[in-house]
């Protein structure tokens, strides 16, 4: 039984009043449609406003200044973070841009969200920001902070009933949900919204995506070698001596990765990254197995047989590579994969591909690590993209960062190292970011942001499908249906994609590319249908003028 706050009670009552007139639904649940032009962030700009070229002269001056002291070839423009709000970025020249890229998918609630700003009104929270604690000296409140954020469970409302169904008492319903009676209204909750991936109860916090993956790889190696030692946590002298010289048996296992993958830029992560040559050029790497990731033909419904065959070829190669490396004395301890290859070009694979990939890991003794650094936190319409795959059991490890504000990984218990200091650095994450994440989860729940992502994603996808049909000479291969706002399409060439991105900036829309010719959308969770229509209108203008 749960008792809801007054604020949530107000939400329930408002929802009930709107629900009586609701005629549509989001993902199968009858819910009231949102007011079309009411932003979730008060005082957000109503539309883009372009005053200069983008980037403008002020950005140019700042870039010249920065370039004198720091390599800055990747800088796009300079942002006025005081004035940016919600879905809108204001640049140094005063241009107001609708941001559908959000710092490469890293801002869950957009710019300067009032609920996040309010965190600093509490003096005890300010001290959390000031006094970053090391892994060796955590605060007594650290376990509570983890349980109230990364390991949190939230009950989400999906249906409202009148009180006469459960008269005169607090209702308790166990099964598909739970009933809550509040001031004459009973709310039937959905299954628990669990922040941690289902089946993963253990967590290790980190500071960024690369260090999350790097240390998750280490957890897999330690697990694998502990298995080989029959579960013993003691090391032989040979292990001790060989590891100090980078030799087996002290350091033998390898992970398998995929062409097109991006897992970070630290040494181990870079060895599993294969998206762009510029990421890897001149950096020494490791002989680890690399398999083909499915590259589908679109539209999917017109290429079912070809794409199924693509799945089969890729899975067959994964298993062959694992057996090959095992036979060479380079045992494959884990399979590292993104649920959607993001930097590599927004490459999707079917649920069946991931289900069979997990089974290959089971057969060969390799762990399955799903890298949700870019996909985690809700942009696909679920907190975790791999939830779309209906895996028979949880992955062994799930890494995260970006929209989660802090980095880290969830894992099964057997992937916790049996000794201290084996996965350790000074900070091991940032308590201030965990504090912010807790508030982000409150907003996701209160404002039904996963519903919003799915609703807005439908608007985006349908609008883009129409534009793809109208402008086949410019864009193709739309993908991301039923994946929230995590949507992408290709330009007919890389130059065409770049031209679209550049011209969208002049129309007041900031977006980004990936792969060789893909334009990807990475808006915040507060990106609503009316924002989608603004984007679609601007894109139509650009495509018409090409």
Report, as an integer, the average pLDDT of 136-154. Answer: 88
Q: Is pLDDT of 7 > 70?
A: no
Residues sharing a CB contact under 8 Å with residue 523, sequence separation 6 or more, in sequence order = 87, 99, 100, 101, 102, 379, 456, 485, 531
- To the query of whether residue 293 is one of the catalytic residues in this protein, the response is no
pLDDT, one tens digit per residue, over 437-470 is 999 999 999 999 999 999 999 999 999 999 999 9
Q: Which of 346, 371, 396, 458 is catalytic?
A: 371
Angle at 319 between CA 317 and CA 321, to 5 degrees: 65
Nearest to 471 by CA among 532, 536, 414: 536
Q: Which of 236, 426, 466, 493 is catalytic?
A: 426
**pLDDT tier, 182 (very low <50, low <70, confident <90, very high otherwise):** very low
The rounded mean pLDDT for the chain is: 87
Backbone dihedral angles phi then psi of residue 469, each to the nearest 5 degrees: -70, -35
3-class DSSP string for 265-285: CCHHHHHCCCCCHHHHCCCCC
Query: For residue 193, what pLDDT is reported?
Result: 58
- Classified as helix, coil or strand, 340 is strand
Q: Which of 101, 158, 262, 527 is catalytic?
A: 262
pLDDT, one tens digit per residue, over 256-307 is 999 999 999 999 999 999 999 999 999 999 999 999 999 999 999 999 999 9
pLDDT, one tens digit per residue, over 189-213 is 344 457 999 999 999 999 999 999 9
Q: Is pLDDT of 26 > 60?
A: no
- To the query of whether residue 193 is one of the catalytic residues in this protein, the response is no
Q: Is pLDDT of 413 > 90?
A: yes
Nearest to 471 by CA among 500, 514, 498: 500
Q: Contact, 337 vs 256, CB < 8 A?
A: no
Q: Is pLDDT of 37 > 90?
A: no
Q: Which two tokens stand for residue 509?
A: 């829309």
Q: Is pLDDT of 178 > 50?
A: no
CA gap 188, 158 in Å, rounded: 7
Q: Is pLDDT of 214 > 50?
A: yes
- To the query of whether residue 141 is one of the catalytic residues in this protein, the response is no
pTM of the predicted structure, to 2 decimals: 0.87
Report, as an integer, the average pLDDT of 330-344. Answer: 97
The residues spanned by each domain of the chain are: 13-109+451-545, 154-193, 202-428
pLDDT, one tens digit per residue, over 42-51 is 999 999 999 9
Strand partners, 533: none
Q: Is pLDDT of 405 > 80?
A: yes
Q: What is the DSSP letter of 459?
A: H
Residues sharing a CB contact under 8 Å with residue 457, sequence separation 6 or more, in sequence order = 381, 480, 482, 483, 484, 485, 486, 487
Q: Is pLDDT of 163 > 50?
A: no
Q: Is pLDDT of 508 > 90?
A: yes
Percent of the chain with pLDDT over 70: 86
The CATH architecture that domain 13-109+451-545 belongs to is: Alpha-Beta Complex (3.90)
Query: For residue 281, what pLDDT is reported?
Result: 96
CA gap 324, 304 in Å, rounded: 30
Query: For residue 530, what pLDDT is reported?
Result: 97
- Owner of token pair 């900031």: 510
Multiple choice CATH, 202-428, 3.40.640.10, 3.40.50.12780, 1.10.10.10, 3.40.50.2300: 3.40.640.10
3-class DSSP string for 516-530: CCEEECCCCCCCCHH
Query: For residue 133, what pLDDT is reported?
Result: 82
CA gap 106, 375 in Å, rounded: 10
Angle at 99 between CA 95 and CA 105, to 5 degrees: 145
Nearest to 528 by CA among 478, 477, 456, 457: 456
Query: For the chain, what's the residue count?
Result: 546
Q: Is pLDDT of 21 > 50?
A: no
pLDDT, one tens digit per residue, over 222-252 is 999 999 999 888 999 998 998 898 888 877 7
Report, as an integer, the average pLDDT of 7-28. Answer: 36
Query: For residue 154, what pLDDT is reported?
Result: 61
Query: For residue 429, what pLDDT is reported?
Result: 84
- To the query of whether residue 402 is one of the catalytic residues in this protein, the response is yes
Query: For residue 36, what pLDDT is reported?
Result: 52
Percent of the chain with pLDDT over 90: 77
CA gap 205, 410 in Å, rounded: 9
CA gap 454, 528 in Å, rounded: 10
Q: Which of 31, 354, 396, 402 is catalytic?
A: 402
């Amino acid at each position: 039984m749960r008792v809801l706050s007054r604020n949530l009670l107000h939400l329930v009552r408002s929802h009930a009043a709107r629900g009586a007139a609701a005629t549509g639904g989001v993902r199968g649940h009858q819910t009231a449609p949102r007011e079309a032009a009411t932003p979730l962030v008060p005082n957000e700009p109503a539309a883009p406003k372009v005053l200069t070229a983008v980037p403008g002269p002020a950005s140019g001056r700042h870039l010249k200044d920065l370039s004198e002291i720091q390599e800055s070839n990747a800088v796009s423009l300079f942002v006025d973070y005081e004035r940016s709000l919600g879905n809108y970025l204001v640049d140094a020249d005063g241009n107001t841009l609708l941001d559908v890229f959000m710092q490469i998918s890293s801002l869950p609630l957009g710019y300067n969200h009032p609920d996040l700003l309010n965190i600093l009104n509490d003096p005890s929270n300010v001290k959390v920001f000031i006094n970053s604690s090391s892994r060796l000296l955590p605060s007594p409140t650290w376990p509570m902070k983890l349980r109230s954020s990364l390991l949190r469970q939230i009950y989400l409302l999906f249906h409202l009933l009148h009180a006469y169904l459960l008269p005169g008492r607090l209702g308790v319903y166990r099964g598909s949900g739970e009933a809550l009676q509040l001031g004459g209204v009973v709310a039937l909750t959905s299954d628990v919204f669990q922040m941690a991936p289902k089946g993963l109860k253990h967590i290790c916090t980190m500071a960024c995506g690369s260090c999350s993956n790097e240390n998750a790889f280490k957890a897999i190696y330690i697990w694998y070698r502990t298995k080989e030692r029959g579960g013993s946590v003691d090391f032989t002298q040979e292990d001790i001596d060989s590891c100090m010289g980078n030799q087996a048996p002290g350091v033998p296992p390898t992970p398998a990765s995929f062409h097109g993958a991006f897992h970070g830029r630290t040494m181990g992560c870079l060895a599993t990254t294969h998206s762009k040559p510029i990421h890897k050029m001149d950096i020494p790497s490791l002989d680890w197995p690399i398999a083909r990731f499915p590259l589908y033909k679109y539209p999917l419904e017109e290429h079912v047989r070809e794409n199924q065959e693509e799945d089969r070829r890729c899975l067959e190669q994964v298993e062959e590579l694992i057996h090959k490396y095992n036979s060479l004395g380079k045992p494959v301890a884990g399979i590292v994969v993104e649920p959607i290859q993001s930097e590599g070009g927004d490459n999707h694979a079917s649920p069946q591909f991931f289900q069979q990939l997990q089974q290959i890991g089971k057969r060969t003794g390799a762990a399955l690590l799903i890298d949700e650094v870019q996909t985690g936190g809700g942009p696909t319409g679920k907190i975790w993209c791999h939830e779309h795959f209906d895996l028979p059991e949880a992955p062994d490890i799930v890494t995260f960062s970006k929209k989660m504000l802090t980095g880290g990984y969830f894992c099964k218990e057997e992937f916790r190292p049996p000794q201290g200091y084996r996965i350790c650095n000074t900070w091991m994450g940032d308590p201030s970011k965990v504090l912010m994440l807790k508030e982000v989860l409150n907003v996701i729940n209160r404002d039904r942001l996963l519903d919003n992502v799915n609703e807005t994603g439908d608007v985006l996808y349908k609008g883009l499908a129409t534009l793809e049909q109208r402008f086949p000479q410019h864009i193709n291969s739309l993908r991301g249906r039923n994946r929230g706002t995590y949507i992408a399409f290709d330009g007919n060439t890389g130059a065409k994609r770049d031209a679209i991105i550049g011209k969208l900036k002049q129309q007041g829309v900031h977006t980004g590319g990936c792969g060789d010719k893909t334009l990807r959308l990475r808006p915040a969770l507060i990106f609503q249908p009316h924002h989608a229509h603004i984007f679609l209108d601007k894109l139509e203008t650009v495509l018409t003028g090409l």
